[in-house]
Amino acid sequence: MEFEEIQEKMKIIRESPIKLIPDEKMAKIRKNMAEKCPITKKMDEEMRKHVAGGTEHQLTIKDPFVLTIKRSSGTRMWDMDNNEYIDWLMSSGACILGHNFPPLKEEIIKVYHDLDPNIYYNNEWEIKSIEMIKKHVPSIELMQYFQSGTEADMAAIRIARAFTEKEKIIKFAGSYHGWCGQLCVDMHVPFSGAMEAHGIPSGVYKNTIVVPLNDVKLLEESLKKWTEKRSGVAAVLVDPLGSDAGGIATKKDWLKSIRELCDKYNVLLIFDEVITGFRLGMGGAQKYFNIKPDLSVFGKLLTHGFPSSGAVGGRKDVMNNITIDVEPGGNNAFVGGTLRGNPLTAAATYWTLKLMEEHKAHKKAKESAEDLVKKLNQIFENDGRPYFAHNIESIVHFETFSPLALDLSDLNNIEIMLKRNEAVNRIATALLAQGIITKYGNRGFTCMQHTIEDNDRFIEAFENVLQMIP
């Protein structure tokens, strides 16, 4: 679905009334879940005695309680009470082969027989895995592993600053690049500023400049303004899909404009491919959009969720400004990490990508996503709702109340946004109660094992949800 059509449909949703699943129906849903999940509910209560906030996972559905999973396979997960769920969160996109995929697990076990993760020297899997990445992502000339996508983003902006000897980093409003203090501004919600930066001194992110998505004019104004100052701009950091895996749509030539402006002002372009890397195809977003970044950041899908999972790669001249040794003077960026590039991480990378190739995982996941989107749009139309669904390859968005479709620079819209968000959260809980796991109740990721029957279960559950909404 093109940008213009998405904007037109979003406008209709913005102008439509907000109709939450009623309180009495939500109370019944929560009661039914408590009855069918007594052990799981008890585990949630126990977790709260030991883990701050009751969970360590930011994407879990917390209403009425957080599930404790004891088994997973393919598209399925089972809680402590043996209730079955079909998963469309898929580890926030990291899982494209399917949960507990036997061929991947078997290869990792073979590696583990000879090498464990605490090996502090080079291993052959580093070479094999990086060669595999370079085969599909030509912009990668040199690479280094890190522990997570967050850490990889931290490293990428440090490398950029060391190479350019400039200080400023430009990011886009609403884009999430992990919880690094320097990037904890305007996360998730555009124009939210430091709303999620508690515990971080303001000086930590003073060199982070935020620009609205799709505003090429303001981006150029920011580049011009800051490149003329001594501090300068080191890099533009961008999620190639804009924000939250395309939750806020971007214009067709947006990335091309960013690349051209980075070249014009001699600024590095960093692609955060934590979500898009290998899910938009084996060449990631850069091949999908035919845009070559200077640095690329990868995360969880790199290893199919096996820890530790993160990497930065890119131009040789830029990447050579990284060092793992203490070097007085000079401009090299120091990075560290005892377990970086360990045998299990590197082997998981190699076998994930090899198995994706062999099984045509991207193609199969995309076909499933297209089937689900077609069926969702049909039931929305049949029910006379303004809702709509669209997909970017195997990333599925289903818009119902679209809290981020508002102009959030207008503070009067904050309260409306929160009500819209509550409406979406209730949909997430109502689906969960029927054994359907989504991301935030408005998006999901397909894997190569999602079947037509799985999608039909999703549609059946969503039809039940539509009957609950006034």
In a domain, 94, yes or no: no
In a domain, 95, yes or no: no
- Binning pLDDT at 50, 70 and 90, where does residue 281 land? very high
In a domain, 97, yes or no: no
Domain boundary, last residue among 358, 378, 394: 358
Residue 390 and residue 345 share a domain = no
Say which CATH number the domain at 433 has.
3.90.1150.10
Residue 212 and residue 343 share a domain = yes
In a domain, 87, yes or no: no
Residue 112 and residue 242 share a domain = yes
Residue in the block written with tokens 């997570």:
148
Residue 346 and residue 364 share a domain = no
Q: Which range (186-190, 365-369, 422-426) has the least confidence?
A: 186-190
Residue 240 and residue 320 share a domain = yes
Phi, psi (5° rounding) for residue 180? -60, 135
pLDDT in tens, 159-206: 999 999 999 999 999 999 999 999 999 888 888 888 888 999 999 999
CB 143 within 8 A of CB 305: no
Q: Which range (38-47, 120-129, 196-205, 450-459) has the least confidence?
A: 196-205
Comparing CA positions, the residue from 442, 428, 362 lying closest to residue 21 is 428
| Amino acid of residue 169 | I
Determine the Cα–Cα distance for residues 110 and 3; give it in Å rounded to an integer. Answer: 46
* Mean of all residue pLDDT scores within the chain: 94
Residue 191: what pLDDT? Answer: 82
Determine the Cα–Cα distance for residues 225 and 212; give it in Å rounded to an integer. Answer: 16
Residue 157: what pLDDT? Answer: 97
- Binning pLDDT at 50, 70 and 90, where does residue 33 land? very high
C-alpha to C-alpha distances, 285 to 39, 144, 199, 214, 220, nearest whole angstrom: 42, 20, 33, 17, 23
Range of the domain at 37: 3-82+360-468
**3-state class (DSSP) for residue 238:** strand
In a domain, 93, yes or no: no
| Amino acid of residue 440 | Y
Residue 327: what pLDDT? Answer: 66
Q: E strand or H helix at 435, and its extent?
A: none
Q: Which range (150-164, 189-203, 270-284) has the least confidence?
A: 189-203
Residue 414: what pLDDT? Answer: 87
**Does the structure show a pLDDT above 80 at 328?**
no
Residue 399 C-beta-side C-alpha neighbours within 13 Å: 26
Residue 209: what pLDDT? Answer: 95
Residue 127 and residue 58 share a domain = no
Residue 29: what pLDDT? Answer: 98
| pTM score of the predicted model | 0.95
Bridge partners, residue 146, by sequence: 310
Phi, psi (5° rounding) for residue 226? -85, -25
Note the residue count of the chain. 470
Residue 326: what pLDDT? Answer: 66
Bridge partners, residue 78, by sequence: 71, 84
Determine the Cα–Cα distance for residues 93 and 428; give it in Å rounded to an integer. Answer: 17
Residue 253 and residue 292 share a domain = yes
Residue 248: what pLDDT? Answer: 87
Domain boundary, last residue among 331, 358, 385: 358
Residue 194: what pLDDT? Answer: 84
Beta-carbon contacts of residue 215 (< 8 Å; ≥ 6 apart): none
Residue 231 and residue 285 share a domain = yes
- Binning pLDDT at 50, 70 and 90, where does residue 407 land? confident
Q: How many domains does the chain have?
A: 2
C-alpha to C-alpha distances, 242 to 196, 326, 376, 421, nearest whole angstrom: 19, 36, 24, 20
**3-state class (DSSP) for residue 6:** helix
Determine the Cα–Cα distance for residues 107 and 177; give it in Å rounded to an integer. Answer: 31
